[in-house]
Amino acid sequence: MKSPDNFGIWGNIEKKSFWDVLPRILSWSKRNKLNASVTERIAKHKNFKSEDINVIKSKSDINNLDFMLVLGGDGTFLSLARTIAEIDTPILGIHLGDLGFLAIVTLKNLFHRLNQVLNGEYTIEKRIMAQATLKKDAKSIEKIALNDFVVCNGQSHRMLNYRLHVDGHLVGNYKADGLVIATPTGSTAYSLSAGGPIVTPKLDSLIVTPIATHTLTSRPIVVPSSSLIEIKFPIDNDSIQFIADGQVHETINSKSQINISCSKYKVELIHFFDTDYFQTLRLKMGWGKRGN
């Protein structure tokens, strides 16, 4: 792969570990003659001490970078992925805690991985995103997600009634705590907790997982990424919550309709030859280990 000339930094500025490691990254970039840029939130923070550094002020600035370094957890990674959905700049995730599913690099091996990127010793993996159109009060609201969309009742302890169609065909009428529509990337998140399958990221598909359904016969389904998923609400309800990646919330009502499909955008992730998806599963979840 191409050796980079520059990169940007996006991070969780609420974490002390971010401010501990940032000066070391900037020193590394200077030693290796790479131009580093930081977001405005970082540059304006009271803890930021560096001078004479490029500041990312718009998406077009990110478009001109060779890669984005995101420091935080998977949540920080998701926020960046949605922000630059239409941009081809690859992302390298640095987890400030343990290994993550998206932020695959830890502080322990940070500079080893950065040196690999510097030397072009990496690969690019493209991940699909999901696109949602909310038809609400004669308006259309567009949302995008790398992990998942969740629909649930805004009123605590109340079940949600919804009708699900895929490509115009009725799947069923549900009474449940809610519904998760996940990408393969998001299959190890909320969808998995709700009983959904793990789907490897290279498979272009969407996973439809009901949450705590009223009937035991309702099961998750996996549909092609070309599918159009439609969600309607047959019973009056003014407090339905729609959530993208667990971070972006929208309140809708039973007169609203939700259409979900695969986005035309893909996120580019930096990966390395000595790591793989199943290795991450084993490390994060104890996948494939025998019980006691």
- How far is it, in rounded angstroms, from Cα 40 to Cα 58? 9
DSSP of 94-119, one letter per residue? EESSS--SS--EEGGGHHHHHHHHHT
Angle between helices 16-31 and 110-118 (to 10 degrees): 30
Half-sphere exposure of 168 (CA within 13 A, CB side): 0
Q: Is-catalytic flag, 74?
A: yes
What ranges make up the beta strands (E) of 33-115? 35-39, 54-56, 68-72, 91-95, 105-106
> Helix, strand, or coil here: 52?
coil
- Residue 186 DSSP one-character state: G
Q: Which helix (H) or strand (E) holds 75?
A: helix 74-83
Q: Distance from CA of residue 253 to its chain's centroid?
A: 26
How far apart are alpha carbons 108 and 106 in whole angstroms? Answer: 5
Residue from 102, 143, 101 nearest 268 by CA: 102
Q: Report in angstroms the alpha-carbon separations of 123 from 3, 265, 276.
A: 12, 19, 11
Alpha-carbon distance values, 181 to 57, 72, 107, 150 (Å): 32, 25, 32, 6
Considering 74, 98, 148, 204, which one is annotated as catalytic? 74
Question: What amino acid positions are annotated as catalytic residues?
Answer: 74
